[in-house]
Structure 1
Amino acid sequence: MNSFIHLTIPARAEFIDIVRLTLFGIANKAGFSYEEIEDMKVAVTEACTNVVLHAYSNAQPGVIDLSFELEHNGITIRIKDEGSSFKYKPADSKAATLHDKELSEVTAGGLGLFMMHALMDKVEVFSERGTEVILTKLFGRKEEMA
């Protein structure tokens, strides 16, 4: 049976720690290793930071809706905003080519999607009304198998 946990926070940097603590509690209870939890925390922090920096203007403060779904084979984390839509394809193609670049060539903020892909087993991005990032981590999945 799948378990769902929902969390809504203001889209402000000082609330991202609440997401990290919630994720730690859920993932620890589910049986993920310390390293897997740390990887997930980095990926989720990147996704939430993107919302804080890019989704809402200062005049229009918004929220980040998160859901954590525990499944028999892992966890799926959804990070959703209702702000300015994010153009996924161009950023994704840049992320895919980072292995050919020197760190000095990568633009600020250009590592977020790359890191999410490197740390999680599956990353999906939908940008219709706002943006939704869906991150999946499977139990016992070793990096060399990904």
Structure 2
Amino acid sequence: MTELLRLRLPTDNAFVSVAREAVVSVARKERIKEPDREALRLAVGEACNNAVEHSGARGMITLRCLRDHAFLYVEVSNSGEAPLPDSPAAMPDANAEGGRGRALMEALTDGVEYFVSEGETLVRLKKRLPL
């Protein structure tokens, strides 16, 4: 895989928009069409919001964009251990205050992988590149 972008951002909601715009710029450069870029923007926002929520005020988010011959991968990692999903993602009840992130990320991308190791959580979003 080829790394296209790497950013380190504070775990602060104020920087989530920076992550989203950086990914959209990479997706545009990779000729991903507008509707798919917008879907990726939303999915990255969800991944970053989860990173902010689970890593604490003094942590950092690392954002990486990578590509191979078929896909653009966006990795969002943070210091902090979120629990690994143990069931398929589903939208919560309409009155729930949260819990939509996983379902949205999975609906908006071509795949989501989760990795948790000591002191770190990584979410890898996958978006198919145009032929």
- What's the TM-score once normalised by structure 1's chain length? 0.81
CA separation of 1:47 and 1:88: change in aligned 2, threshold 3 A: same
**Matched position secondary structure for 2:5:** strand
Task: Give 1:95's match in structure 2, choosing from 89, 103, 113.
Answer: 89
Does residue 73 in structure 1 map to residue 59 in structure 2? no
When residues 3 and 128 of structure 1 are mapped into structure 2, their CA distance, relative to the original with a 3 A threshold, is closer
TM-score (structure 2 length as normaliser): 0.89
Kindly provide the amino acid, as one letter, of the partner of residue 28 in structure 1: R
Higher strand share: 2
Q: Distance between the aligned counterparts of 1:112 and 1:65, measured in 2?
A: 18
For these two proteins, the number of residue pairs brought into alignment is: 130
Distance 1:127 1:7 in 2: 20
Higher helix share: 1
Cα distance in 1 for partners of 2:40, 2:102 equals: 13
Say if 1:4 and 1:70, in contact at 8 Å, map to a contact too. yes
Match of 2:4 in 1: 4
State the identity %. 29
* 1:31-83 alpha-carbon deviations (Å, 9 max, x no partner): 00110000001001001001112221x4xx11001110022212001100112
Question: Residues 94 and 109 (structure 1 numbering): CA distance in 2 closer, same or farther, change over 3 Å?
Answer: farther
Task: Point out where structure 2 has 5 or more consecutive residues left out of the alignment.
Answer: none
Match in the other structure for 2:112: 123
Provide the residue aligned with 1:13 in structure 2. 13
Cα deviations across residues 80-104 of structure 1 (Å, max 9, x unaligned)? Answer: 0112x111224xx2624x4xx6523
The aligned runs of 1:1-146 (5 Å cut-off) are 2-56=2-56, 58=57, 61-83=58-80, 85-90=81-86, 93=87, 95-96=89-90, 98=91, 102-104=93-95, 107-129=96-118, 130-140=120-130
Give the structure with higher Rg (CA).
1
The one-character-per-residue Cα deviations of 1:102-137 (angstroms, maximum 9, x if unpaired) are 523xx3221100000101111001111221000000
State the alpha-carbon separation in 2 of the partners of residues 94 and 110 from structure 1: 12
Compared CA separation, residues 72 and 86, structure 1 to 2 (3 A)? same
One-letter code of the match for 1:121? D
Distance 1:53 1:71, change over 3 A: same
Give 1:33's aligned amino acid.
Answer: K
